Amino acid sequence: MTLAMAPLGTLYAPAQAGVLDFAGEQLNAAHESIGHKLGAVWNFLGSQQPETGIAPLEATPMVHIAPLPRKLEAGPMPGVKMAVAQTAVPHLPAQRALPAPSIEKAAKRLFCVEYARSLSGLNIFGDAKYWWGKAKNLYARASHPLEEAVMVFSGSSRLRRGHLAVVSQIVSPREIRVEQANWMNKGEIDHATPILDVSARNDWSKVRVWDMKSNGFGTHVYAISGFIAKDLVKRASND
């Protein structure tokens, strides 16, 4: 009856105290185990073990990692300026204007040989058709036109004595301009007369001459012996 009448707190007090003592012992044991393990870790890392066994929170260094921007925007680099350099474009020399063919009335009747001799300075005499042979070993002879060279027309039924003209301008691989006299057998001077190469191989062996009356190239084809240059230096394929 006495036991039954005792307050509940009196009965459970000893048991409650035992449980608390046991729990305290377990916490102490766990604390010592953690301290022992942390000490081993600090010794392994080469650091001195904290006196308390556990490093205070404020002793641990804080590392702040800044967040990356959500969007990367492309833009010019600061302090860098870009400029487009202006390069001068070279200009090719302008082609010489082609003079219009014209006829000049001479003070006296001129022949092609004397007019060609005065313009070129070649010291050759005789009929025009012989100039090509006489120029051998004396002047440079070329198969293609050269400016200031004398163009030798071979003798033919239309040109029994041949003909001479001085090259004044090379227009293209197929066309030149010449200065000549007595082409129309009137002792006149013809300026800037166009002559066209009509040979199959563009070797200037056959040509047509500009006709002032029809204002175009004549229908007759003339044979050409070649071109004679005053200088002794060969400037082309010579015979």
Assess if residue 139 is contained within a domain: yes
Q: What is the pLDDT of residue 31?
A: 58
Q: What is the pLDDT of residue 9?
A: 47
Give the largest CA-CA distance in the chain: 178
pLDDT band, residue 106 (cuts 50/70/90):
confident
Calculate the average pLDDT of the chain. Answer: 77
**Partners of residue 229 on adjacent β-strands:** 140
b/e for 167-196, b at 16 or more Cβ within 10 A? bbbeeeeebbbbbbbbbeeeebbbbebbbb
Query: Do both 107 and 224 map to the same domain?
Result: yes
Query: Do both 135 and 33 map to the same domain?
Result: no
Assess if residue 68 is contained within a domain: no
Query: Do both 110 and 47 map to the same domain?
Result: no
What is the C-alpha to C-alpha distance for residues 6 and 40, in angstroms, rounded to an integer? 53
- Structure token pair of residue 126: 């005789």
CATH number at residue 142: 3.90.1720.10
> How many structural domains is the chain composed of?
2
Query: Do both 225 and 120 map to the same domain?
Result: yes
Query: Do both 44 and 138 map to the same domain?
Result: no
Query: Do both 30 and 148 map to the same domain?
Result: no
Assess if residue 85 is contained within a domain: no
pLDDT band, residue 98 (cuts 50/70/90):
confident
Query: Do both 107 and 204 map to the same domain?
Result: yes
Assess if residue 135 is contained within a domain: yes
Phi, psi of 218 (to 5 degrees): -65, 165
Q: Is the pLDDT of residue 15 over 60?
A: no
- List the domain range (segments joined by +) for residue 122: 102-229
Assess if residue 220 is contained within a domain: yes
Query: Do both 196 and 115 map to the same domain?
Result: yes
Query: Do both 129 and 211 map to the same domain?
Result: yes
Q: What is the pLDDT of residue 46?
A: 54
Assess if residue 76 is contained within a domain: no
- Structure token pair of residue 30: 């766990």
Q: Is the pLDDT of residue 164 over 90?
A: yes
Query: Do both 106 and 185 map to the same domain?
Result: yes
Query: Do both 134 and 30 map to the same domain?
Result: no
The pLDDT tens digits of the residues spanning 56-72 come to 444 445 555 556 555 55
Assess if residue 94 is contained within a domain: no
Q: What is the pLDDT of residue 30?
A: 62
Q: Is the pLDDT of residue 94 over 50?
A: yes
The pLDDT tens digits of the residues spanning 180-210 come to 999 999 999 999 999 999 999 999 999 999 9
Assess if residue 71 is contained within a domain: no
- Structure token pair of residue 199: 């040979």
pLDDT band, residue 140 (cuts 50/70/90):
very high
Contact in structure between 211 and 221 (CB atoms under 8 Å): no
**Measured between alpha carbons, how far is residue 159 from residues 19, 44, 178, 200 in Å?**
149, 120, 18, 22
List CB contacts of 154: < 8 A, sequence separation 6 or more: 129, 132, 162, 222, 223, 224, 225
Model-level pTM? 0.59
Query: Do both 178 and 109 map to the same domain?
Result: yes
